[in-house]
């Protein structure tokens, strides 16, 4: 019997679990990387549940912002007091899971300390700086953040306005914010929590600007925590989500720091002001690539959670009759509900598969960089940029679809959707605005296209399709015989066609425009090319991963993978029908394939979401709770409202009561 079935559960959700045609536990192990990883997840979960300091006094939805920040700070200290419970080197796996269980869908005073500050120290300090700072950071003797984004500039790093001017007379850099728009803006924990930061500033030496460089800077006094002289900083106010974190602003007024404040693994400034450039111009991108890499897994986890909530709720919510007189049906029985929710689940599976691959590639590149090998760095940057953009956008849209699929209750914070959306949608902007990321990918694609046209292309596997000739028409006969290779060929055709459409338009525009104006004039087509490049990768990678799955899981995973691919194809019908590559009857076959996948996934839907192994503590949703007992739980949750602490509110005594009394006196 499924471990997800327990006495007292809602009867409908229990019956759904009994329908499963696969072993849920084996699917969980496949998703998360094996039985041992799954075992460790359960051990970490049991530990977190056993520690009182990790528990919230009331649901966080009912806390004020000040209460949330205080509560999160309490929990993060407890969490980092107990890091011996996890493998600290496995941030992708145990670290992210431990934090998700402890902090929920919120950040905390030390989020950037661990995700940006420490990795930057590890990646960009020289040996002497590493000895000085890393132990302090890991031991929590200091709390750091990463201050790059400014009020006036985010993605365009070359135009950051904060300056660091070297003074050889004192061997110091002078940090300054010359304008309001030079204010650092958005860094997590900067407002009130961090006392140190890696600050990215334009380096000036010997009268020349050498571009943005990272500096480690003390912001607040070690004991009093007051801002140091010349430093102005604070909280930027409430946001759409993640309000348990004090995102901050920072301005410098001619603040002096020692020469060794410049992180010098790659670029250096000698005592006399001589600048030594890094051997490779892209080496400093490592930290940002790392963050984008883990973002992909985080986004897939959030979309998986949304799909879990919507699927479980749809299995216990009964509404309307399909056959008159037969009683109300589970809303999951409606094909329209399946069409809304199940493609989001398929996306989550595809994104998790990509997250695993990007993690492995990141670790490979990190190892190569230690030996001075930068061969894969550009490819990783392109892949992580494109995946970050497409995955975060599709995740945000998917979460909203899942919310809408839950009707009125999906609008309540009890559902978990507002928090999931507020947390995940930020990923469309932070660590690189999505459209800008797509245009970075496009530069790689245009270079590849030019190489193909000139016969000089040397393309890795991910871009090899650009150099293929390909068939003039789709080989699809029926959806029952639509092979993985044929699906990939059809996607390659559309991706390749869009790449060369953008390339040809760019070359034409360059005949009469300056290069930068030509690029801007075709930027919509360039972004489209990048999206197809990434979606092709996602489908190809997912199909490949499923082909290697155990036989007893492969049959249901094939339905999920096909649904993902078919959904992409039918969402862009015109691209496939263009120039007669596909016929309308072939496209109808793909549509029929979608409906068949929905029908085949339907009896396995609840067990598929169970396989993601979300405990109620991680899911944080009344609608998506494991036992399916949604309605009594909603009523219980509502009792936490501050408005229910008294029967009569001051608003009645002061305004509504007098209004009604006055009106009655005049009747």
What percent of the chain shows pLDDT beyond 70?
98
pLDDT at 379 exceeding the cut of 80: no
Question: Domain segments of the chain: what residues?
Answer: 142-278
pLDDT at 131 exceeding the cut of 80: yes
- The distance from CA 94 to its chain's CA centroid, rounded to whole angstroms, is 17
Looking at residue 294, what is its pLDDT? 84
CB atoms within 10 A of CB 81: 12
Three-state SS string across 307-341, please? HHHHHHHHHHCECCCCCCCCCCCEHHHCHHHHHHH
Strand pairing partners for 258? 172
Looking at residue 211, what is its pLDDT? 96
Residues in the chain: 667
Question: How much is the average pLDDT of 52-65?
Answer: 94
pLDDT at 288 exceeding the cut of 80: no
Looking at residue 282, what is its pLDDT? 59
Binding-site residues from annotation for FAD:
149, 188
pLDDT at 283 exceeding the cut of 60: no
pLDDT at 482 exceeding the cut of 60: yes
Q: Are 353 and 542 in contact (CB under 8 A)?
A: yes
Which fold is adopted by the domain 142-278?
A: Butyryl-CoA Dehydrogenase, subunit A; domain 2 (2.40.110)
Question: How much is the average pLDDT of 530-542?
Answer: 97
Pairing relation of β-strands 196-205 and 163-167? Answer: parallel
Q: pLDDT grade, residue 382 (50/70/90)? A: confident
pLDDT at 98 exceeding the cut of 90: yes
Which helix (H) or strand (E) element contains residue 613? none
pLDDT at 289 exceeding the cut of 80: no
What 3-state class would DSSP assign to 215?
strand
Catalytic-labelled residue, pool 16, 357, 431, 492: 431
Looking at residue 51, what is its pLDDT? 95
pLDDT at 122 exceeding the cut of 60: yes
pLDDT tens figures, 45-54: 999 999 999 9
pLDDT at 359 exceeding the cut of 90: no
Looking at residue 1, what is its pLDDT? 66
Q: pLDDT grade, residue 454 (50/70/90)? A: very high
pLDDT at 570 exceeding the cut of 60: yes
pLDDT at 585 exceeding the cut of 90: yes
Looking at residue 35, what is its pLDDT? 97
Q: pLDDT grade, residue 284 (50/70/90)? A: low
Alpha-carbon gap, residue 138 to 116, rounded angstroms: 13
Q: What are the C-alpha distances in Å from 255 to residues 156, 200, 262?
A: 24, 14, 14
Looking at residue 287, what is its pLDDT? 57
Looking at residue 155, what is its pLDDT? 80
Looking at residue 281, what is its pLDDT? 60
Q: Are 328 and 316 in contact (CB under 8 A)?
A: no
Looking at residue 293, what is its pLDDT? 77
CB atoms within 10 A of CB 501: 17
Alpha-carbon gap, residue 414 to 410, rounded angstroms: 8
What's the mean per-residue pLDDT of the chain?
94
Tell me if residue 132 is catalytic.
no
Binding-site residues from annotation:
149, 188
Q: pLDDT grade, residue 291 (50/70/90)? A: confident
Owner of token pair 């204010």: 183
What percent of the chain shows pLDDT beyond 90?
88
pLDDT at 355 exceeding the cut of 70: yes
pLDDT at 660 exceeding the cut of 60: yes
pLDDT tens figures, 427-446: 999 888 999 999 999 999 99
**1: Cβ–Cβ under 8 A, 6 or more apart, which residues?**
none
pLDDT at 640 exceeding the cut of 60: yes
Q: pLDDT grade, residue 285 (50/70/90)? A: low
Question: How much is the average pLDDT of 464-484?
Answer: 95
What 3-state class would DSSP assign to 590?
helix
Residue 593: φ, ψ to 5°: -60, -40
């Amino acid at each position: 019997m499924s471990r997800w079935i327990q006495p007292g559960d809602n009867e409908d959700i229990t019956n759904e679990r009994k329908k499963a045609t696969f072993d849920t536990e084996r699917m969980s192990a496949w998703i998360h990387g094996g039985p041992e990883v799954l075992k460790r997840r359960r051990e970490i979960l049991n530990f977190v549940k056993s520690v009182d300091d990790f528990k919230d006094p009331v649901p966080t939805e009912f806390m004020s912002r000040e209460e949330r920040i205080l509560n999160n700070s309490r929990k993060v200290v407890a969490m980092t007091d107990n890091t011996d419970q996890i493998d600290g080197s496995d941030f992708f796996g145990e670290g992210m899971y431990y934090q998700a269980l402890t902090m929920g869908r919120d950040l905390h005073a030390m989020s950037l300390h661990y995700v940006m500050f420490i990795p930057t120290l590890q990646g960009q300090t020289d040996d002497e700086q590493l000895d000085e700072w890393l132990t302090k950071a890991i031991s929590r003797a200091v709390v750091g953040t990463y201050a790059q984004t400014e009020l006036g500039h985010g993605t365009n790093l070359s135009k950051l306005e904060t300056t660091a001017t070297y003074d050889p007379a004192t061997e110091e850099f002078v940090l300054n914010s010359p304008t309001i728009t030079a204010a650092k803006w958005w860094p997590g924990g900067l407002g009130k929590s961090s006392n140190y930061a890696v600050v990215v500033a334009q380096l000036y030496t010997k009268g020349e600007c050498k571009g943005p460089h990272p500096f480690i800077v003390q912001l607040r006094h070690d004991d009093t925590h007051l801002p140091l002289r010349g430093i102005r900083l604070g909280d930027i106010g409430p946001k759409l989500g993640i309000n348990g974190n004090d995102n901050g602003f920072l301005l410098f007024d001619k603040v002096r720091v020692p020469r060794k404040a410049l992180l010098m693994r790659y670029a250096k400034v000698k005592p006399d002001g001589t600048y030594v450039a890094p051997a490779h111009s892209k080496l400093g991108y490592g930290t940002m690539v790392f963050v984008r890499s883990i973002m992909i897994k985080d986004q897939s986890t959030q979309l998986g959670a949304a799909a879990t909530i919507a699927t479980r709720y749809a299995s216990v919510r009964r509404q309307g009759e399909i056959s008159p007189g037969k009683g109300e049906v589970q809303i999951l029985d409606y094909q329209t509900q399946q069409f809304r929710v199940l493609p989001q689940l398929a996306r989550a599976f595809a994104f998790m598969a990509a997250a695993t691959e990007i993690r492995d590639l990141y670790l490979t590149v990190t190892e190569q960089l230690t030996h001075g090998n930068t061969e894969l760095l550009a490819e990783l940057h392109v892949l992580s940029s494109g995946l970050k953009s497409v995955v975060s956008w599709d995740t945000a849209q998917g979460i909203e679809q899942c919310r809408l699929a839950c009707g009125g209750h999906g609008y309540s914070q009890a559902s978990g959707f507002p928090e999931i959306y507020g947390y995940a949608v930020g990923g469309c902007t932070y660590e690189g605005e999505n459209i800008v990321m797509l245009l970075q990918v496009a530069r790689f694609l245009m270079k590849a296209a030019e190489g193909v046209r000139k016969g000089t292309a040397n393309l890795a596997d991910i871009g090899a399709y650009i150099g293929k000739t390909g068939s003039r028409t789709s080989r699809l006969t029926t959806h029952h015989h639509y092979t993985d290779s044929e699906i990939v060929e059809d996607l390659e055709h559309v991706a390749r066609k869009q790449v060369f459409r953008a390339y040809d338009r760019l070359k034409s525009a360059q005949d009469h425009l300056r290069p930068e104006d030509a690029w801007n004039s075709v930027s919509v087509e360039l972004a489209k090319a990048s999206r197809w490049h990434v979606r092709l990768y996602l489908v190809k990678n997912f199909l490949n991963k499923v082909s290697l799955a155990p036989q007893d899981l492969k049959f249901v995973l094939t339905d999920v993978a096909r649904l993902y691919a078919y959904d992409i194809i039918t969402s862009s019908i015109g691209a496939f029908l263009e120039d007669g590559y596909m016929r309308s009857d072939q496209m109808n076959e793909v549509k029929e394939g979608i409906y068949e996948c929905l029908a085949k996934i339907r009896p396995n839907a609840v067990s598929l979401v169970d396989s993601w192994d979300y405990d109620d503590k991680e899911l944080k949703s009344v609608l998506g709770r494991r036992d399916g007992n949604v309605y009594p739980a909603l009523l219980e949750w509502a009792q936490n409202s501050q408005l229910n602490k008294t029967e009569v509110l001051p608003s009645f005594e002061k305004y509504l009561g007098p209004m009604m009394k006055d009106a009655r006196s005049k009747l």
